[in-house]
């Protein structure tokens, strides 16, 4: 768990600074590993055979002017889906016709929660992550919409949506550790984010960790 975590108000005034920061060298593994569920650097090794995916960190203004972030809960219906039932960002696998993984992330966001790419502004990208369990190269994209949108969920891909303020995600109360069993493997003292009645762990937590590291830099 990060040694210095504190709560701060994060609002739309920071968007220009965020855009500029995302265009500079990123913290990458230094920040990602703080929420890594296992002690391995395989997340940065990548593979030539990896499937490619894009995920979208979609920011929006809360009524207070603070920035919020969308997460989705994946259905847990397919026993062969290694990420079923988990919390993630909107996003998915690259498809033929996608110009790049930014377009993949925006397309999947529209398909999964109904937010059109024409209503959002791409601010930049975070460090890619190799999810070795499912052999995916994941490119996180950071985008912004200037209002809290009405959502239309793709039920086959999304059980429900969770929104959290960045001020909460930056607080001590948001982080915890626990022993956590996934299938037949127990991850000891696994770091995670507490999201209402769910836990955010694994690759999505690692991506969130890098993003929050950047937001604290530009506070």
Residues 6+ apart with CB under 8 A from 33: 41, 43, 206
**Residues with Cβ within 8 Å of residue 34, at least 6 apart in sequence:** 1, 2, 191, 206, 209, 213
* pLDDT tens, position by position, 176-198: 999 999 878 899 999 999 999 99
Give the whole-angstrom CA distance, residue 212 versus residue 64: 20
112 contact partners, CB below 8 Å, separation of at least 6: 72, 90, 91, 92, 153, 154, 157, 158
Confidence of residue 41 (pLDDT cuts 50, 70, 90): confident
Query: 3-state class of 156 per DSSP?
Result: coil
Q: Going from the N-terminus, what domains does the chain have, and what CATH number goes with each? A: 12-217 (3.90.79.10)
The pLDDT, as a whole number, for residue 5 is: 40
Element (DSSP H or E) covering residue 175: strand 175-182
- Which tens digits make up the pLDDT trace of 108-153? 999 999 999 999 999 999 999 999 989 999 999 999 999 999 999 9
pLDDT score, position 200: 97
Question: What 3-state class would DSSP assign to 90?
Answer: coil
Residue 16 dihedral angles phi and psi, to the nearest 5°? -65, -40
More confident residue, 39 or 166: 166
| Residue 29, Cβ density class (10 Å: 0-12 exposed, 13-18 middle, ≥19 buried) | middle
User: In the predicted model, is pLDDT for residue 8 greater than 90?
Assistant: no
Whether residue 28 is predicted with pLDDT greater than 90 in this model: the reply is yes
The C-alpha atoms of residue 205 and residue 88 are separated, in whole angstroms, by 8
Question: Can you tell me the mean pLDDT for 51-61?
Answer: 97
pLDDT, tens only, 80-104: 555 578 999 999 999 999 999 999 9
Question: Could you give the CA distance from residue 32 to residue 22 in angstroms, rounded to a whole number?
Answer: 15
């Amino acid at each position: 768990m990060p040694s210095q975590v504190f709560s701060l108000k994060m609002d739309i005034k920071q968007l220009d600074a965020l855009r500029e920061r995302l265009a500079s060298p990123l913290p990458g593994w230094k920040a990602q590993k703080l929420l890594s569920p296992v002690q391995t650097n395989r997340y940065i090794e990548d593979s030539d055979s990896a499937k490619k995916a894009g995920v979208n960190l979609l920011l929006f203004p809360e009524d207070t002017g603070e920035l919020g972030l969308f997460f989705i809960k994946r259905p847990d219906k397919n026993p062969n889906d290694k990420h079923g039932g988990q919390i993630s960002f909107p996003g998915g696998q690259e498809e033929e016709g996608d110009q790049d993984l930014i377009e993949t992330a925006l397309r999947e966001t529209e398909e999964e929660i109904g937010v059109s790419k024409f209503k959002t502004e791409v601010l930049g990208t975070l460090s890619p992550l190799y999810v070795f369990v499912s052999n995916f190269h994941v490119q996180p994209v950071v985008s912004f919409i200037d209002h809290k949108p009405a959502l239309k969920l793709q039920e086959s891909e999304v059980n429900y949506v969770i929104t959290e303020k960045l001020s909460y995600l930056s607080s001590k109360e948001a982080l915890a550790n626990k022993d956590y069993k996934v299938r037949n493997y127990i991850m000891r003292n696994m770091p995670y984010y507490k999201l209402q009645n769910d836990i955010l762990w694994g690759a999505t937590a690692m991506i969130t960790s890098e993003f929050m590291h950047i937001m604290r830099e530009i506070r």
